[in-house]
Amino acid sequence: MYKGPKFISSPRVLEFSGPALVKTLPGFDGELPFTLETGKGDLGIFRYITVEESQLFYYFIESEGNPKEDPLLLWYSGGPGCSAFNGLIYEIGPLAFNKTEYEGGTPTLEYYPYSWTQWLIDHPKYLKNQLFIGADSYSGITAPIVVQHILEGNAVGERPRLNLKGYILGCPRTDVIINENSKISYSHRMGLISDELYEETKITCNANYYDVDPNQAECFESLQKIANLIHDINKNDISEPKCTWASPDQNGETDRRSLEQQSGNFILSPPEIPEMWCHNFNYALSYIWANDESVRQALYVTEGTVKDWKRCNKNLDYTLNVETVLDVHKNLSSYGLQVLVYNGDHDLTVPNTGTQDWIKLLNLTIVSDWRPWLVDDEVGG
């Protein structure tokens, strides 16, 4: 059972006269083909989600199918400290930057069709909709805790009652020891290190590669050999080139998921026209677009609350005090929830081998054996 900090829900409800919808955005041609709300009420009153003394900005995109019946999905971005903007543009949202035609100025947007309790109090028409919690990367730690908190609140009669049906996790950080250890076995599986070095490291480290005893000199030596071999590999996608990232921290070092630090030449401020040969240079467009004053006005961002927008903010004050949520998953498995866990097989930051390892520890009954995943008769994995 999870023994960490509780998520606090407040019974205090403020009067809300209805949202103001975002109908157009700088860089997008014409009106948006979907309903977008960012939290501004009538009469110019800004209405973010209040959590204790914090005001949380949000994006709400209504289903383009049947909003009255379709499930709600609450999506947490990774990090920790990464903006929900990642979900809107880079992960599951209906918008994407048109990087192929970018020639400077405000980046253009294109339609991408594949793409909380206080909020539900303000939007009671969605209370009966099925609710799913979704997250990726580091939020694989926080999302299951949120799911458990919702279930506990429903059990004791908290209002509003949330119609929670399940959760979705992508490349989720779940258990720090399993995750770190799996990086070594994954590197071997993918041919990044030799059989000899892998066997040597297993012996010298006793198959434990996390929080190694400083007295294990041979283990440190083996791990350093591996670190040298994979230093120039893109940890987030080993099939992509390793190139400058567009999400800097104070030292100019950065990583999309913030789970490990890397060194190199990093973008401290995006160039006027970033090169687009590298997939991750697409992130540079987010700095140009989100820091444009016309964009902030269109999204109803409260003036003066954000000086310089950062895609991932590493200056937030928080404590990393949860190293595993395995017990949370075991507890949740008894509720009959619908759960989807997916993992890319080119990910060295959160390897799929580690995800398989912790899922096996849940001792779930296998009802369908390993098989190809088909999309339109094409194998997708």
Q: Report pLDDT for 99.
A: 73
Residue 56 token pair: 């949380």
Length of the chain: 381
What is the predicted pLDDT for the residue at 117? 57
Q: Where does residue 167 rank: exposed (0-12), middle (13-18), buried (19+ CB within 10 A)?
A: buried
18 φ/ψ sector (left φ>0, alpha ψ -120 to 50, else beta):
left
How crowded is residue 131: how many other Cβ atoms within 10 Å of its Cβ? Answer: 20
Q: How far apart are CA 244 and CA 267, in angstroms?
A: 6
What's the confidence (pLDDT) of residue 277? 64
Per the structure block, which two tokens stand in for 107?
């980046």
CB-count exposure of residue 26 (10 Å: 0-12, 13-18, 19+): middle
The H or E element spanning position 296 is helix 293-298
pLDDT at 98: 78
pLDDT tens track of the chain, all 381 residues? Answer: 334 333 333 333 333 445 568 888 888 888 888 888 886 544 444 456 666 777 777 778 888 778 888 888 887 777 777 777 777 777 666 777 777 777 777 787 887 665 555 567 677 888 888 999 999 988 899 899 999 989 998 898 888 888 999 999 999 999 999 999 999 999 999 999 999 999 999 999 999 999 888 889 999 999 999 999 999 999 989 998 887 554 444 343 343 333 343 433 334 444 455 555 677 777 888 888 889 899 888 888 878 777 888 888 777 777 778 899 999 999 999 999 999 999 999 999 999 999 999 999 999 999 998 889 898 889 977
* Pure H helices in 85-174: 85, 117-122, 139-155
CA distances (Å), origin 334, targets 2, 74, 276, 312, 361 = 15, 22, 47, 35, 15
What are the tokens at 228? Answer: 């040298």
Return the pLDDT at 300. Answer: 81
How many C-beta atoms lie closer than 10 Å to residue 273's C-beta?
A: 12
What pLDDT does residue 118 have? 58
Q: Which residues pair with 37 in a beta bridge?
A: 21, 60
Report if pTM > 0.85: no
What kind and span of H or E run contains 339? Answer: strand 338-342
